[in-house]
Amino acid sequence: MSTATNPKQPLVTHIYTADPSAHVFGDTIYIYPSHDLEHDGEDNDNGDEYQMEDYHVLSLNAIGAPCVDHGEALHMRDVPWVSKQMWAPDAIYKNGKYYLFFPARAKDGNFRIGVATGSDPAGPFHAEPDYIQGSYSIDPAVFEDDDHKVYMYFGGLWGGQLEKWQTGVFLPGAEGPSGNEPALGPRVAQMTDDLLAFAEPPQQIVILDQNGKPLTAGDTDRRYFEGPWMHKYNGLYYLSYSTGDTHYLVYATGTSPKGPFTYQGRILTPVIGWTTHHSIVEYNGKWYLFYHDASLSGGVNHRRCVKYKELQYDENGAIITMQP
């Protein structure tokens, strides 16, 4: 445990955590991070250094309160289809229970997205025997709209394999667009009422510049890389994401949960470490950004820690850029 009165300090220091998905259930903020393991393996563009095997759930009963680690909520040994690398998860409450969505490599080495359910937001969670059919890549984020429809956003480049799925079929040798070609976007699909399947085939989200043209693959300061998150503010949809190798958290806005979205600007400038992955949540009338960096390990990319900061909008609804 650790107190989080200072945004410069990690939420917890007894384990390495990353990719925090924060949600308010009742009067408590629950954080669903990935769990970095200590090892001396190679860092590479395939993400082999991220060897996570389980999930812990964290919680705050007030801003600045001690952070509670509720312990192991799900382990890969309890998920029949998983071979390794349980990466960034997300959660939602619906139908009288809590759902944990998570990506992992299946037995064939391809990333898929699974779902587990539980009766308590802190877990434990019990996984479905197979992954969601039609799912692929990484970084699921689930969003319930005002009409109670639930959407999943997902997808990550490079180690996240999104380039390999451009045709809807996994092609090991496929490469993504480059230069002035339109960049790949995250995927979105509406979920079935029981949240165990897609109600439709996933579709690509288009992210546009201020002139209405798709962001290009060469525009690495703005184009999508990984870590999608959706929230709604004053009736507008905010799609936020990581630019990956350029280390920014940025956002785009739109009038539909499926887009298109127009790029608006940066949320967070680069942190210590390779990239970042975040969530945005409202709590007691204020908004907060949860993110990670590698400050706890002195900059080791796969030994990260979760932090948070208050997020603010200007009078026009633009997110004010923050420094980590």
Q: Which residues are catalytic?
A: 19, 226
Task: Tell me if 207 sits within 8 A of 239, measured CB to CB.
Answer: yes
Residue 280 token pair: 């945005």
Q: 3-class SS at 208?
A: strand
DSSP string, 32-56: EEEEEPP--PPP-TT-TT----EEE
* Cα–Cα distance measured from residue 89 to residue 138, given in angstroms and rounded to the nearest whole number: 9
Distances (CA, A) of 267 to 218, 278, 323: 20, 10, 9
Angstrom distance (rounded) from CA 197 to CA 114: 10
Cα(247)–Cα(16) distance, rounded to whole angstroms? Answer: 20
Place of tokens 């009766």: 119
Nearest to 269 by CA among 293, 285, 287, 252: 293
- Given strand 207-208, what is the order of strands in its sheet? 207-208, 261-268, 249-254, 236-242, 226-233
- Cα–Cα distance, 74 to 90 (Å, whole number): 13
The total number of residues written for the chain in this structure? 324
> What secondary structure does DSSP assign to 132-169, as a single string?
PTT--SS--EEEE-TTS-EEEEE--SGGG-GGGGTTSS
